[in-house]
Amino acid sequence: MPTTFDLVVRGGVVVTASDVFKADIGIAGGKVAALGTDLEGNRVVDADGLLVLPGGVDTHVHIEQPSSGPAQMCDTFETGTASAAAGGTTTVICFATQMRGGSLKAAVEDYRVAARRARVDYTFHLTISDPTDVVLRDELPTLIDSGCRSVKVFMTYDGIGLDDAQLIRTLAAARKAGALVCVHAEHHALIAYLSERLVAAGLTAPKYHAWAKPTVVEREAISRIVAIAEVLDVPIQIFHVSGPEPAEEIARAQARGMKVWGETCPQYLTITAEDLDRPGFEGAKFMFGPAPRGTAEAEGLWRAIKTGTIGVISSDHAPTRFDDPRGKKVAGENGPFTKVPNGIPGLAARLPLIFHEGVTKGNIELSKFVDLIATRPAKLYGLFPKKGTIAVGSDADLVLFNPRAYQTLTNAGQHHGGDYTPYEGREVTGKVIATYLRGTCVFENDTVVGAIGGGSFVPRAPYAEIEPRGVFPIPFDPVTSTVLEDKPKLAAE
């Protein structure tokens, strides 16, 4: 072990998912090389009075994602990862998306080129919108082996949502290739019917977005995808759980021993359906899917977080500009809610919002905060211990965080490509002071200093967390067409 390190972060309070302790951190070759006292370095950063957190791992980020329609997301890898660095996030998982009728392999190749401008580290989910035999049989296994070890499926949205038969085939292919499946779970036909009836009744303002997406459409879809996963023995994560009722569906699956995990996002803990009812077109700034709920649902989500039903808090950063004909106003200010692009920006706001709502308000402890925003997502997606913790041998991804600093969130402070933040004017306690990626500072003094292209692709090898259980409701494995004659483990046992 070197006696003089490349960099020493001195005197901070180190927080991991299991411990809180004061220590110096010695960094060499971009890795954490030592935790101790009185360490010496070629450069020394004074962290006295600050928390030192592992770099955030945001596993649900839409950056430079192509669209088949006129609306376009406004963040490139350059701007989106600048926002990540400003928010204390050093690793993002974003979406390489197959366009319907196109090649998944070609989509990933194009996305790799775009991602070379990232300022923080990154890896990909494989979004499948058209599960043809070529995609599932020929393209998917090779892409998963290349390190993209998660598949995204939608149960709703025209042009990208899959029907039940397609979901079954895609989940089976993902299991055979060794990938985790991530699910946007909402009942497409019910949403379409409610939307049609609302618009026909003249109820077209942004507030009616929540009416078209009540909790029941999410709850039903989660129940359905859990059933499919149970029959096929496929590990899944449910994205952006909006309230306690959908969380209960996950809890029931977990109680049966299934590998079903839940994620929520800051917006479901801080934004309510009342925000959609702001004057004029302002409510469009708060439109995302599933829709925002209410304060009671937010309280229920905190209970699910405390019990572990929800283990990850990601941003679901999906930015479109507000005052832009390619953004929220693609159909004009008088267009119906059905034509307004879903999604809000949230990368830079994630850590301070969850610290304020969670730790400052007494909902969670410090170590639980770190687990939610860094450690658990790293474990679930095969990035741990390289990412998500502060330990000897881990990447030196560090966040210097002032837990006592008051700040008012503004759009300028988000450092993204958008023209608004839904959190404008919100006062929070807790602020990112500096962010380090593999020992190199990428954000300090309210300024993004990370180099364009300084981020790297992080491949994910097979890992135990997402291995199938070998448990089926019948003595037959339908994915491998194997009769389980040697006393199979049945779900009823």
Q: What is the mean pLDDT of residues 6-23?
A: 98
The verdict on residue 377 lying in a domain is no
The reported pLDDT for the residue numbered 71 is 87
pLDDT at 447 over 70: yes
Q: How confident is the model at residue 68 (pLDDT cuts 50, 70, 90)?
A: confident
Read off the CATH number of the domain in which 223 is found.
3.20.20.140
Q: What is the mean pLDDT of residues 201-207?
A: 97
Q: What is the pLDDT of residues 15-40, one digit of tens each?
A: 999 999 999 999 999 999 999 999 99
Q: Helix or strand or coil: residue 143?
A: helix
The reported pLDDT for the residue numbered 490 is 63
Rounded to whole angstroms, the Cα distance separating 493 from 488 reads 10
Q: How confident is the model at residue 67 (pLDDT cuts 50, 70, 90)?
A: confident
Rounded to whole angstroms, the Cα distance separating 234 from 118 reads 32
The reported pLDDT for the residue numbered 81 is 98
pLDDT at 493 over 80: no
Q: What is the pLDDT of residues 138-172, one digit of tens each?
A: 999 999 999 999 999 999 999 999 999 999 999 99
Residue 88 contacts residue 437 (beta carbons within 8 Å): no
pLDDT at 488 over 60: no
Rounded to whole angstroms, the Cα distance separating 271 from 288 reads 10
Residue 240 DSSP class: -
In terms of residue numbers, what domain contains 251?
A: 55-372
Residue 91 contacts residue 121 (beta carbons within 8 Å): yes
The reported pLDDT for the residue numbered 319 is 95
Q: What six digits make up the tokens of 143?
A: 């892409």
Q: What is the mean pLDDT of residues 286-296?
A: 97
- Report the interhelical angle of 215-232 vs 244-255 (nearest 10°): 20
The reported pLDDT for the residue numbered 359 is 98
Closest CA to 137 of 102, 177, 165, 109: 177
Place of tokens 């995302």: 288
The reported pLDDT for the residue numbered 420 is 97
The verdict on residue 160 lying in a domain is yes
The verdict on residue 450 lying in a domain is no
The verdict on residue 39 lying in a domain is no
**Identity of the residue numbered 127:** T
The verdict on residue 415 lying in a domain is no
The verdict on residue 168 lying in a domain is yes
Q: Helix or strand or coil: residue 54?
A: strand
Q: What is the pLDDT of residues 231-269, one digit of tens each?
A: 999 999 999 999 999 999 999 999 999 999 999 999 999
Residue 98 DSSP class: P
Rounded to whole angstroms, the Cα distance separating 239 from 256 reads 20
Residue 138 contacts residue 106 (beta carbons within 8 Å): no
Domain count, the chain: 1
Per the prediction, the chain carries an average pLDDT of 96
The verdict on residue 378 lying in a domain is no
Distances (CA, A) of 349 to 65, 75, 214, 283, 365: 20, 15, 26, 19, 19
The verdict on residue 439 lying in a domain is no
